[in-house]
Amino acid sequence: MSGALGDATPVERSGLSQALSDWAILAKHRITSFVAFSAFCGGLLSGATWGHSAEAALWITLLSAASGMFNQVVERDLDSRMVRTKDRPLPAGRVSVATVVVVAAVLATTATFALALRFAPISALLGLSTLVAYVLVYTPLKRQTTLNTVVGALPGAMPPLLGCVAVAGEPGTWGWTLFATVFAWQFPHFLAIAWLYRDDYAAAGMRMLPCEPGSKGIAGRQAFLYCAALVPLPLLPLLRGEATLFYAVTASVVGLLFLYTTWRFSLEESRDNARRVLFASLVHLPIVILLALADGALFTH
């Protein structure tokens, strides 16, 4: 008996581990982690309690997870052609399309009703509109035009604004500031990724800027220009009286450090420089948001 149990346990753990990993991938756990963080912080910056902000962030995160699932249903054929995505659950056949669609629909419906009933109803409408824009507009555009990055940046920038709207009924200064910040931030972040995996994207037929003929140097220059827009954005809440000089200066300095990496990338589009931009982007955004929270907690009354 003990031998049989000993043989069965590793298999069961392996199956559970694989299932958890598959659903984390389907929910795009890295993106949804940022969504949860930024929506939660948006709620706090709008004056809500930790608990109220956390609940709003939960429903917004579930909407994001549903978006990721629907996105992978639509793109499963493209994912099967790319080295970095061909082992995802859908192209690998580990999870059925029908199962993913049902789970995503349940998550989206539950989250939408929860936002409508427990928070500002407009947040439910905005959240559902964000899902539709991401899945039905941005996702198909990846095959048609390099402008897909611009279109995708709009729903991509919504999480912190949704957090603000859910708890306060309106975006407010911080909602618009964070929306603009995340919108501009996405360009250097995703252009670096697109440059690093340009061969993969080209093989899948995705219209990413670094894959286009004659595009050499353009990705670096665009990354620099959009990153430059991040530097003055911390002045907005300062001018509106909702932040102090501490936030405006420190967040702008962090933006300048990020800008330096994109400047190097604009001068030379290389793997090392693209990786530096990607790393800097992952450091920049959480620091800027945490600085806003620290400013509010320590100085703003």
Can you give the residue ranges of every domain in the chain? 16-170, 173-296
Residue with more model confidence, 166 or 199: 166
What pLDDT, on a 0 to 100 scale, did the predictor assign at position 8?
37
Q: How far apart are CA 223 and CA 262, in angstroms?
A: 6
Tokens of 165: 């709207």
What is the CATH code for 16-170?
1.10.357.140
User: What is 173-296's CATH number, 1.10.260, 3.40.50, 1.20.120, 1.10.287?
Assistant: 1.20.120
* pTM of the model as a whole: 0.90
User: Nearest 5 degrees, angle CA 125-CA 103-CA 95?
Assistant: 140
pLDDT exceeds cutoff 50 at 273: yes
Share of the chain above pLDDT 90, in %: 81
b/e burial code for range 119-142 (CB count within 10 A of at least 16 → b)? bbeebbebbbebbebbbeebbebb
Supply the pLDDT for residue 300: 54
What is the average per-residue pLDDT within 149-154?
Answer: 95
